[in-house]
Amino acid sequence: MAPTIARQCGNANIRSIEEKLRPSLVGWSQEHAIRKELLPFPLGLNRSTQQDRHCPQLLAGESKKWANMAVMIAFDLPLFSADSSLKDTFGPMINRDVSGLVVDLGNEQYRLLHFTAVQDAARSGVELLRDIPGGIPLELDAFGKDPSADYEISQSSGVTASITSRFERLSFVYTASSPGYVCSGPARHPYPPQVRGKTNNCTVVGCPGTI
């Protein structure tokens, strides 16, 4: 794909094409592939006004091709009932090393929340998951019901919810490593909800762990 564009459109248009293609790319890996393939072409490629005139058509065709190569990504997140205490949600996210959770609202309705949203709510005094505003609504078979849906819940079992994102890049924010951490003690106390003190010792009374 890239050599065809470069040779038919000319080197002068390569950077312009790269910028215009980027919104259609699915995830960083494909964006990296475009940069790697397009930029190494040498300067001074032979081109003509007639060749340059065809660049918009080539660009449109290639953009459509990339858009149609969307990769759906499935990933698992901790699942909690709406009445769960916020302080009980951090440990599972940290131990799974993810940055999100799913709230079960009942009647097959769910909500996707990011780690920072839960953390901000806890700092503001919110106690239960149901009282956190916002989040992304989730439904079973959402893609079949709503073409504009970005996420759907494919399965929920016990303490785990399986989520599918329409595009690879949409999963990154929730599958990224958790910003929290745990102490080295046997109970592995999570921070948050624990608050770090002035030393590296775990702040839970009686815990021999460090952080």
**What's the confidence (pLDDT) of residue 74?**
93
**What's the confidence (pLDDT) of residue 30?**
41
Q: What CATH code is assigned to 73-179?
A: 3.10.580
Q: Poorest-confidence range of 44-48, 89-93, 122-126, 169-173?
A: 44-48
**What's the confidence (pLDDT) of residue 129?**
96
Torsion of the alpha carbons at 7, 66, 22 and 141, rounded to the nearest 10? 180
**What's the confidence (pLDDT) of residue 45?**
37
Instruction: Specify the pairing of strand 160-165 against strand 73-81.
Output: antiparallel
Residue bearing the bigger pLDDT, 128 or 27: 128
Query: How far is residue 123's CA from residue 142's CA, in Å, rounded to a whole number?
Result: 32
The predicted model gives 71-94 an average pLDDT of 95
Chain centroid, CA 206 distance in Å = 38
**What's the confidence (pLDDT) of residue 8?**
43
pLDDT in tens, 156-169: 888 999 999 999 88
**pLDDT confidence band for 110 (50 / 70 / 90):** very high
Mean of pLDDT over the chain:
77
Share of the chain above pLDDT 70, in %: 67
CA distances from 181 to 99, 120, 177, 194, 211 (A): 12, 16, 10, 10, 8
**What's the confidence (pLDDT) of residue 168?**
87
**What's the confidence (pLDDT) of residue 71?**
81
Residue bearing the bigger pLDDT, 49 or 91: 91
**What's the confidence (pLDDT) of residue 47?**
40
**What's the confidence (pLDDT) of residue 103?**
97
**What's the confidence (pLDDT) of residue 70?**
60
Per-domain residue ranges for the chain?
2-67, 73-179, 180-211
pLDDT in tens, 21-73: 444 444 434 433 333 333 333 333 334 444 444 455 555 555 444 444 468 89
**pLDDT confidence band for 153 (50 / 70 / 90):** very high
The pTM of the full predicted model, rounded to 2 decimals, is: 0.65
Instruction: Tell me phi and psi for residue 137, to 5 degrees.
Output: -65, 140
Are 82 and 106 within 8 A, CB to CB? Answer: yes
